[in-house]
Chains A and B, each alone.
Chain A
Amino acid sequence: MNCTECQERLVDYLEGLLTEPREQMVKAHLRSCDSCRAEWEQLQELHLQLASSSDRWRKTDFQQDVSNRIIREQHQQLKRVGRVNRPLEIGRKIMHSKITKYVTAAATTAAVILMLAFFHTTTPVASAAEVLQKAIDAVADVKTVHMKARMRTRPGDNFGLIGLEYDFVPLEMWKKTEPDGTIKWRIEKTGWKKKELKEKIGRITVMDGENTTFFSRPNIGFQIKKPLPLGRYDGDWSRILNVGDLLENEIQTAKNNPDRKACVEREMIDGKDTLVLTVEVMSKVPEDDYLRNKYITDSNHRKVYRFNPETKLLESFQVYVQAKEKEVLVFEVTEIEYNQPIPDKTFTIDFPEDMIWQSLKVQRLPDNEKYEKMTPKEVATAFFQACADEDWEEAAKFDSHNRVSNYIRNDCGRLEIISIGEPFKSKGYRGVYIPYEVKLKDGTVKKHNLAVRNDNRANRYVLDGGL
């Protein structure tokens, strides 16, 4: 037995799946070969590590919780279709009766369709799948991607926010795969380049192969010492840069999710055979939810990918949000370049001198307990009161970084509280929103929702947006 043969059988050996003579051969080889023995020892070590890690999960037991949740959900679904208006017991009975009953109910309420259809006009299905495979193969050679895009958002706001009535703001993104496989990327909201904006606002996120850095113009940033994948802290749309996985991901996701429809069509454009992938996504966030249509993922939307007939590469991409009576284009890739050299400096950022670096950790305060006990409404009231009194030390206690920006000092100092409303939640956000109305010192009345959250180690509510 040679080394390759031996190493190929190590797992079977470990599992006791070898025949007696084979097992003897492996044993004999291991006795005589140092490198295979080393391999064998490493394998055993890993096996033990996995076994001991998995031990920690044995106590997991939430069967009852799942069962309760199913019953609750059933009850709600039935209530929605107006079949049941009685207490929860009824749900429990139904759970034990024929599944078809509530399945019908669930199907009518959710109106979900799982459909993966390969449309075609002139060619048989198999060749549409072929075109698809070619498109997947074509991107294997792509080393760099550079895209320009535009999105209906606000220049200074976070990467994901959209608004159907907002103007388009330009975006630019780059991704590079180095010869050793290292990936680098940069996503930029270039709204700050607009002349009509008095100050430079906008956002950049760069992953240079080792660290991921966030920069919010004019001067705030933070860094995570890890190479984060695309789409974690930037907008979801940045995943478009992963052109290699796009098609497969979209189709796999569609297969696994009843709330999506994917369809691949072949279109003749100027006599050329073009592959069009359309994906329709239904939002999980209800229509009356605060976040509905504020992010692409919280809207019913249609994504349209077009692939070049010759190169089979992605050529264009659009996202349309399906609002009540209209469909609105909210995101569009306007230019794509493949395999053009990207200078290394793209993956660095020129920071201003007065840069403020933030930590992602919310610190415990000396008097943390007092703030832990506060409800979201009390937090909103106390924060605005501190602004009214220009007590910045107190106001800073509601900031996740214990800092009050100049913007807040200038605009919110000496404000007048008109009203603080009842807090509410959204399905898409882990924090809480508190409606407020205040009169700023320049006389303008501001009405909006303050977002606060307490999923941090200090266990107190801190501001997360909405000012």
Chain B
Amino acid sequence: MIRNDLYYLDRCLDGHPDEYRFLVERYQSVLTAYLTGKLGNRSLAEEAAQETFVRAYFGLPRLKNRKSFYSWLLGIANRVAQEEFRAAKRFSSGDRIDQQPLEQPVEEETWEVERAIAELPESYREIVLLKYYADQSCSQIAEELDIPIGTVTKRLSRAYCQLRQLLRRESEVQK
């Protein structure tokens, strides 16, 4: 039986913290894919996704609107990604530094789809991620985000439009 986020959150806060694992299971691909799009590197993204889940876990008591767990989680992921950028480009202070930021370890994949998704406006992005990376149907998404199904398909339609442009731009840059 598939339960919604609210159910697991209530269970977590009601003496069954180990049920948090169901939320991790639900969103681990979503977060890793999203963070890969943002950071351009899968192993960094996995690390950042784990960090996001850990922070979210300790932040649960402060989550005011438990219906918006998923959006809140993406917000934390954004913050972790920001910190990751900073840690990556940081070089120490010295009297005189000529050093430049270094490249990331090389990965064969270019993650162009994930990168494009990361560039979408938030309200489109969260739907695309749920649909494709958490395998949710439009009606499940509507229920999870507490919005009408018509809004889901409308946003999806606009998201597709923007994704096409982003992917086109990406392939032009690569040429």
Contacts and interface: CB of A to CB of B under 8 A. Distances in A.
A337 B84 CA distance: 33
Interface residues of A, number: 91
Contacts of A448: 94-95
B103 A456 contact: yes
A375 interface: no
Interface stretch (A172-180, A214-222, A343-351, A383-391): A214-222
A141 B46 CA distance: 39
Contacts, number: 207
B29 to A, nearest CB: 4
B164 A220 contact: no
Interface residues of B, number: 70
B73 to A, nearest CB: 9
Interface in B82-121: 83, 85-106, 113-114
A111 interface: no
B133 interface: yes
15 contacts: A54-B133, A57-B133, A60-B29, A67-B20, A67-B24, A99-B13, A112-B62, A154-B93, A158-B93, A201-B96, A220-B98, A256-B75, A297-B86, A360-B100, A464-B91
A455 B99 contact: no
Interface of B: 12-15, 17-18, 20-21, 24-25, 28-29, 32-33, 46, 49-50, 53-54, 57-62, 72, 75-76, 78-79, 83, 85-106, 113-114, 128, 132-133, 137-138, 149, 153-154, 156-157, 160, 163-164, 167, 173
Interface stretch (A5-13, A23-31, A182-190, A270-278): A5-13
A42 B133 CA distance: 21
A462 to B, nearest CB: 7
B43 to A, nearest CB: 10
A303 to B, nearest CB: 15
A420 B24 CA distance: 44
Contacts of B57: 66, 70
B29 A95 contact: no
Given A69-B54, A157-B96, 4 more contacts: A161-B93, A253-B79, A449-B92, A467-B97
